[in-house]
Chains A and B, each alone.
Chain A
């Protein structure tokens, strides 16, 4: 396979033809923050947290193709400010109460906020939605109040599980994830689906019943490492 090189924050990165900026960065051990993107799933480009400056233009790194000699800015104060704004929007759009959420410590939204240095409330207003909780399924519950509309579950169910148990409905601020039926119980969702697995939902929206708070503080995903550690450690190897 033919390849080419380009730059991310001054570091020379090699990319294969057809790779996006994020794909090439991941292989090179450079972490570009992201929430709606997940390895093994189609790129969506919806959360915009992976915004980078490429050749002077702001683009989503997950969908933007890498190009020869492209100069990409990733971890600059300006870009990180944009990311803090976006993460702040996601926090305030839903109801994210970390102290009472079972995803706390394993939550990518929370971990992203820590990585970006967000330690206090933003100026944004809280939208305080009141969305129904779907606990109809014997093994799975959905708390849409914590959903960040990343759509990872939609793609995982469609493309990996071949089921399509989730989809987007509505428009604008009312757009949300819905089950393929009146509730989750009336879909063919199973707790063993990839879409339901811990790695797909980045927040505490998809809940596997009788599993909450299983891992004590100190042993959770982001207790010892910042989000992105698994990618960044490749660089040291």
Chain B
């Protein structure tokens, strides 16, 4: 290989030893190899396999699963452009062109000298400041062609990506660095999370209670998981508390990957102590001594900040042995970085990823509360859920229960982006209408709103009075606003390509069925669909939903189904009845093109210029 550093195998061995050659730390090992050598070669996989006692193909299985790990040399500076639909509508095509012109090569390539790579990546959690990109471990937002030209010139002139953020980057605190890179855009602070929050008040009150008392309070508050599924938190903690085992784990799911979601980004930046406090309370409640914070690879820029917070809390006796002097209450947390895989937001897949495996969901039952990480009882909760839990312990279950509506208590963070004047974070009690939220965000002109991201529901203007609750429009927090100028089918096709890209491939319906759906939607966009194709979309979607193994396949047809229901004219306008009983998709020229190549001649029937 001309480009890319050939990994020194002694160095690779040292990386393995850094993690005690533990195969369960495979993702950390491969991430470190990737960072140091910019790719993972076959030779490297063999070394890692030998050190960790796995087969080489098992190592390859992990290395080939995650988008941020590369089996070919990638550039010393790797630029990952977020190609989410929101970024596209915010001017991504011009930004791409500027990058390609300035770098001298196209997206998907690496420069000949190995200095730069340019790639696309799905939603990186910066829809409120799109177009955005990752450049190695930093992020840049609000991109314009001018900004791109300046950045590439600086990088070519020998500046580090960090220097693009600040010329005194190294002197800044992790918090200052994060703030220089990314705006919080908090538009409305609610009473629970983004208003004033006293330090560790919840933890102190929790330590004055029995573990069972903590769980009773969480249950009484009505708190439900904020990641999207909405499982009752108190019940989850109770199951884990009742499980008998030598070890128990608390895992924080900071892998928000649903396109259009970025609420956890703001909590991780502004309320990291509250999050760790919530995890510590959960540990006390269920009797766990070990915790893992799984941070999505796209948020690597927040890693130093989280590490600093963990270190600070250890120094203060808020993590580690005998927390706050309570004998026998030991709890510590390790940070697990993801590496570019939406599926890892699924509870079982997240646990697989923490175990150093490809991010494939686990067979349920058994459920994680009895058999989770390494087979031990494990509580997995979303960032926002842990933050809520800490606040509930401080202010009381009733206080939280009284906010919101029946069945949906407390507040919720909404990440609003797309065609609105004030994209950003809104902390509001459950029960508000979509219309009310649009008014706050300056998105009254919306023609369509996607609630809950692509796996949620796309609604039209006539139903903007629907409520943001678990019982009406459930959402993990993503609200994407689309104006009347946007092409609904373009949006749907993008989201289907997203699910095809992010399916883990374990089960047939999700792996194959989503590809079929994507192709069918493409037919509509090209004007090649016939009336029967509408029934085909519904029928295929139903099979995928009913037979898929995890939540990804159970929701991936939603962009199609919810637009078929709420925007039926968009589809029927594109349908043409077949002419002469020939399918519109049949094209004789492309049908014979392979045969032409094989025969090394043109067709005397179908090539008009055959005689010339």
Contact = CB atoms under 8 A, between A and B. Distances in A.
Interface of A: 43, 45-49, 51, 58, 60, 63, 65, 81-82, 85-86, 89-90, 92-93, 123-125, 127, 149, 164-175, 178-182
B269 interface: no
Contacts of A60: 549
Contacts of A124: 516
Given A63-B363, A82-B543, A172-B500, A180 B55 contact: yes
Contacts of A82: 543, 546-547
Contacts of B56: 180-181
A178 B60 contact: yes
Interface of B: 42, 55-58, 60-61, 64-65, 341, 358, 363, 365, 500-509, 511-513, 515-516, 519, 536, 540, 543, 546-549
Contacts of B504: 171-172, 175
A127 B515 contact: yes
Given A123-B536, A172-B500, A180-B55, A89 B546 contact: no
A52 to B, nearest CB: 11
A58 B547 contact: yes
Most buried by B among A51, A164, A169: A169
Contacts of B57: 164-167, 169, 178-181
Given A93-B512, A173-B500, A180-B57, A45 B505 contact: no
B546 A46 contact: no
Given A167-B55, A167-B61, 11 more contacts: A48-B548, A49-B508, A60-B549, A86-B509, A89-B508, A124-B516, A127-B515, A165-B57, A172-B505, A174-B505, A180-B56
A89 B513 CA distance: 7
Contacts of B61: 167-169
Contact of A171 (B65, B365, B547, B549): B65
B548 to A, nearest CB: 7
Contacts of B363: 43, 45, 63
A171 to B, nearest CB: 5
Nearest to A177: B57
A181 B516 CA distance: 32
B505 A86 contact: no
Given A172-B511, A180-B56, A48 B547 contact: yes
A98 B501 CA distance: 30
Say whether chain B's binding surface is mostly helix, strand, loop, or mixed. helix
B512 A89 contact: yes
Contacts of B547: 48, 51, 58, 82, 85-86
Nearest to B543: A85
A205 B341 CA distance: 29
Contacts of B58: 164, 167
18 contacts: A45-B363, A48-B509, A51-B546, A65-B365, A85-B547, A86-B543, A89-B508, A89-B509, A93-B508, A164-B58, A167-B57, A169-B57, A170-B64, A172-B501, A172-B503, A172-B505, A173-B515, A178-B60
Contacts, number: 113
B291 to A, nearest CB: 28
A182 B64 contact: no
Contacts of A45: 363, 507, 549
A48 B55 contact: no
Nearest to A157: B55
Given A89-B512, A172-B500, A46 B506 contact: yes
A170 B57 CA distance: 11
A205 to B, nearest CB: 16
A170 B65 contact: yes
A30 B433 CA distance: 51
A89 B516 contact: yes
B60 A171 contact: no
Contacts of A65: 365
B543 A182 contact: no
Closest 4 CB pairs of A and B: A175-B505, A167-B57, A89-B512, A180-B57
Contact of A168 (B358, B502, B536, B546): B358
A123 B500 CA distance: 19
B546 A175 contact: no
A179 B365 CA distance: 31
Contacts of B502: 172
A46 B516 contact: no
Given A63-B363, A90-B512, A85 B503 contact: no
Contacts of B501: 172
Nearest to A87: B508
A182 B511 contact: no
Nearest to A35: B508
A123 B540 CA distance: 10
Most buried by A among B61, B508, B543: B508
Nearest to B549: A45
Contacts of B549: 45-46, 48, 60
A171 B358 contact: yes
Nearest to B516: A124
A49 B507 CA distance: 10
A60 B553 CA distance: 14
A57 B508 CA distance: 18
Nearest to A154: B57
Contacts of B508: 46-49, 86, 89-90, 93, 149
Nearest to B535: A123
A149 B500 CA distance: 17
Contacts of A43: 363
A47 B507 contact: yes
Nearest to B594: A128
A81 to B, nearest CB: 8
B586 to A, nearest CB: 12
Contacts of A179: 57
B83 to A, nearest CB: 17
A149 B509 CA distance: 12
Most buried by B among A48, A178, A181: A48
Nearest to B512: A89
A167 B363 CA distance: 19
A169 B503 contact: no
Given A48-B548, A86-B508, A125-B519, A182 B42 contact: yes
B520 to A, nearest CB: 8
A92 B42 contact: no
A154 B516 CA distance: 27
Contacts of A127: 512, 515
A173 B510 CA distance: 9
B505 A92 contact: no
Contacts of B513: 85, 89
Given A178-B57, A181-B56, A173 B503 contact: yes
A184 B549 CA distance: 31
B505 A173 contact: yes
A85 to B, nearest CB: 4
Nearest to B62: A169
Most buried by A among B57, B64, B519, B548: B57
